[in-house]
Homo-oligomer: A and B are copies of this chain.
Amino acid sequence: MYPGREEVGQRSETVRRANLSAIVRELHLRGPLSRSELVARTGLTRSAIRALVGELVAGELVAEEAAVRLGTPGRPSPLVRLVPDGAVVLALEIAIDSLAVAVVGAGGVVHELERVDRPRGHLSLDEVVADLVELAALARSRRPAGEMPIRVAVAVAAIVSRADGLVRFAPNLGWVDVPLGARLAEALALPVPVEVDNESDLGALAEFRRGAARGADDVLYVHGEVGVGGGIIVDGRPLDGIGGYGGEIGHMPVNPDGRSCRCGSTGCWETEVGEGALLTRAGYALDGGREAIDQVLADAAAGRPAALAALDSVGRWLGIGLAGLVNILNPRRVVLGGLFSRIHPFVVDRMDLTLDHYALAAPRRLVSVVPSTLGVDAPLLGAAEMAFEPLLDDPAAWLGPRGALVQLESA
């Protein structure tokens, strides 16, 4: 129903492609499955599954193992699993306080993960790119020689134009209209595309696929750091918007006569729930970074009134903002990431009560607000998930003629 763009005609090859895609996607998302489970999941016949899996096995993307006996009657069905080294991606992240890189294999296996602290403040594109390239080299050096990721993806704390890999606005880095994707592609010198996306959008994807929002088709991921970012999943698909700028929930006006925001607007949500709001209300200096937040949490745990009051206020404004978003989006699950995940125990009561008041009853009843399960790595893992999309979408393009995994040129 309601296809987005021009529906192009289908042909026999389309069917095969869609079916291969369905199998690989199931394996990627749910882990190893027996052939008969694949039959049940896809609705295809044994013959078809057999042929399709055979093709994937020949292409060394998946492997079949001896049947596991699980107490069920009948002939055991061979287990089909993605081979973790069959296809890997390189995921990068530029966060406020750290840089990270990961090599992730098909099925979501994290082969390598490196995260290093990063001083806050403005750094040049060159510096950041150089650091990332070094990290990537380190991670890749521990992998089999000659291993080539099928794609590279970067999560960055910024407003990003996905189509061209341009960082539009990154106040924490001091970047405006910076060609991150192109520069990184050049510096990495890998013969594969480099994609760039917002860290909150990718955090949403990761929590949706492998975290706290698994199984929910409508998801809102709210990422608190210095600013507040959001990632939205609608009916299983990321909400990107026309320019890929969707999900900038931190700049939703909730208090139009309130404080001015670094985006130039006034009363944005992040001026009430961001790191700065918490620190200011708790009586700390703004430039304390993570240590200051740690201090606030320690104070709160110790029962100090200033910290508790600050957290209470953040909890209230969290509830107010989420109420609006719940009314607009009617999600099944809201996942709190970053700062919000850390303060969750201290704010949950106030937040829930506020949500009860400000949200409509019907959508409120259906939503659950939970902290992130992937923690700081959510955006990084989301980048990996995004990087796998082309493979999941068209596995045949990655199956070499004689079983070698090669990348075919595609439009």
Q: CB of A127 within 8 A of chain B? A: no
- Distance between Cα atoms of A359 and B5 in the complex (Å): 27
Given contacts A7-B22, A10-B19, 5 further A-B contacts (CB under 8 A): A4-B217, A217-B242, A234-B237, A252-B328, A253-B324
- 3 A-B pairs with least C-beta separation: A241-B330, A4-B236, A9-B44
Enumerate chain B residues within 8 angstroms of A14, measured Cβ to Cβ: 10, 15
- Distance between Cα atoms of A367 and B256 in the complex (Å): 21
- Distance between Cα atoms of A392 and B193 in the complex (Å): 37
- Spot the interface stretch: A60-68, A102-110, A262-270, A342-350: A262-270
Enumerate chain B residues within 8 angstroms of A10, measured Cβ to Cβ: 14-15, 18-19, 22
Chain A 316-351: CB-based contact to B (< 8 A → 1; otherwise 0):
000011011101111110000000000000000000
Query: Are B1 and A389 in contact, with the CB atoms below 8 A?
Result: yes
Query: Are B243 and A9 in contact, with the CB atoms below 8 A?
Result: no
- Distance between Cα atoms of A332 and B4 in the complex (Å): 14
- Distance between Cα atoms of A230 and B327 in the complex (Å): 10
Q: CB of A402 within 8 A of chain B? A: no
Q: Give the Cβ gap from A396 to chain B, nearest Cβ, in Å.
A: 14
Query: Are B42 and A236 in contact, with the CB atoms below 8 A?
Result: no
With A243-B330, A253-B323, A324-B252 known to touch, is A4 a contact of B235 (CB < 8 Å)? Answer: yes
Query: Are B327 and A251 in contact, with the CB atoms below 8 A?
Result: yes
Residue positions of A touching B, CB distance < 8 A: 1-12, 14-15, 18-19, 21-22, 25-26, 41-44, 48, 159, 161, 168-169, 216-218, 230, 232, 234-249, 251-256, 263-266, 320-321, 323-325, 327-332, 357-363, 366-367, 389, 393
Query: Are A363 and B323 in contact, with the CB atoms below 8 A?
Result: no
Q: Which of the residues B2, B12, B230 comes within 8 Å of A236, measured between beta carbons?
A: B2
Query: Are B240 and A330 in contact, with the CB atoms below 8 A?
Result: yes
Q: Give the Cβ gap from A156 to chain B, nearest Cβ, in Å.
A: 14
Q: List 15 A-B contacts (CB under 8 A).
A: A4-B237, A5-B217, A6-B26, A8-B43, A10-B19, A168-B362, A218-B242, A218-B246, A235-B237, A243-B362, A252-B323, A255-B256, A256-B320, A265-B358, A266-B358
- Distance between Cα atoms of A5 and B321 in the complex (Å): 29
- Distance between Cα atoms of A113 and B349 in the complex (Å): 52
- Distance between Cα atoms of A8 and B18 in the complex (Å): 9
Q: Which of the residues B4, B7, B217, B236 comes within 8 Å of A18, measured between beta carbons?
A: B7
- Distance between Cα atoms of A327 and B264 in the complex (Å): 13
Query: Are A254 and B254 in contact, with the CB atoms below 8 A?
Result: yes
- Distance between Cα atoms of A144 and B230 in the complex (Å): 53
- In the complex, which residue of chain B has the Cβ closest to the Cβ of A364? B245
